[in-house]
Amino acid sequence: MFPKSVLTSKVIKMNSKRILFMTIVFVLIGIIPKLLKNSITDWQILALYFTYIASCFISFYTINTFLFASKSNFSHLTRFVIGIICGFVLLTFVHLLFLNIQPNRLVYFLNLKEIDFHSIITTTAFRTFIIQSVVYVCICFFKNIDEKITFQNEIIHLNNYLNDLRNNLPEKKEFKKTIITRFKDKVIPVDVSEIAFFHLSNGLVFQYLFSGQKYIQNDSLESFEKDLDPTLFYRANRQFLIHKKTVERVEQIENRKLKVALTLPEPEEIIISKAKASAFIRWLEN
């Protein structure tokens, strides 16, 4: 899965491009009426008007972005109203500043016929509502798109992670369920659940069944230990590989060794060393 820092950097780049694009579009929309009315008399004024509109849009966008990013559970109406209030205060300050410094520019920016406080406040309020509405709709629209894209990316990354995890899981070993036993000229399949224990004696491996039958096996005790389920069969010592169900009782003898008694007669004593005693007890418990 991609780290969050990578996703965050992608979102930042995407948002930067969106802000630039929306600012240009908003500025062009603001300039078009001036072009249609042929009211452009000075390109320097046009550049200043361009900067004014762009600054208004970016300021409102910043205010609303902060409101959306805040952890307060504001409703959409509350965010919208707070954005209008903050934007109105900001625009009023800017317009009053222009009124004191360059009143002619303010008349041009606000399309005023005459300069008076009531006209400035009314036009500022109307412009605040228009800009706030456009910015708020844009943010809500792109926020929904971002949430869908983020959700889809997280699903894709989660599926990729699960696939990687599944591919890296160790394969579950299949243990033998049946042991082929040869007796004279016969081949006898014996289910492992019927086997009580294996015993190594004089180089030969004997297979003892719960039924009391005994067969000689050609395979080594090590091969049976490898092929049989370790939750069922335990290598007690060099001579014995025993089935869990055949263990009748366990006695502790000298030096913390264990002596195991089986449900069948044992060919010889089954002694488990001190080193393997704890592991054997855990095997019985599990």
Instruction: Examine residue 260 and state whether it is found in any structural domain, yes or no.
Output: yes
Regarding whether 185 and 161 lie in a shared domain, the answer is no
Helix axis angle, 43-69 to 117-168, nearest 10°? 50
Domain boundary among 110, 143, 168: 168
Residue 66's pLDDT band (cuts 50, 70, 90): confident
Regarding whether 258 and 215 lie in a shared domain, the answer is yes
Task: Compute the distance between CA of residue 159 and CA of residue 1 in angstroms, rounded to an integer.
Answer: 9
Q: Whole-model pTM?
A: 0.47
CB atoms within 10 A of CB 128: 22
| Total number of domains in the chain | 2
Regarding whether 138 and 273 lie in a shared domain, the answer is no
Regarding whether 270 and 137 lie in a shared domain, the answer is no
Partners of 271 in the β-ladder: 259
pLDDT of residue 6: 47
Cα angle vertex 19, ends 18, 21, to 5°?
65
Regarding whether 198 and 163 lie in a shared domain, the answer is no
Task: Compute the distance between CA of residue 276 and CA of residue 273 in angstroms, rounded to an integer.
Answer: 5
Tokens of 138: 């844009």
Q: 171 phi and psi, to 5 degrees?
A: -70, 135
- Candidates 256, 257, 229, 258; CA nearest to 245 is 229
Regarding whether 194 and 149 lie in a shared domain, the answer is no
| Domain of residue 222, residue span | 178-285
**Any idea which residue has 């990578």 for tokens?**
6
Instruction: Examine residue 173 and state whether it is found in any structural domain, yes or no.
Output: no
* Span 140-178, pLDDT tens digits: 888 888 788 888 888 888 888 888 887 877 767 788 999
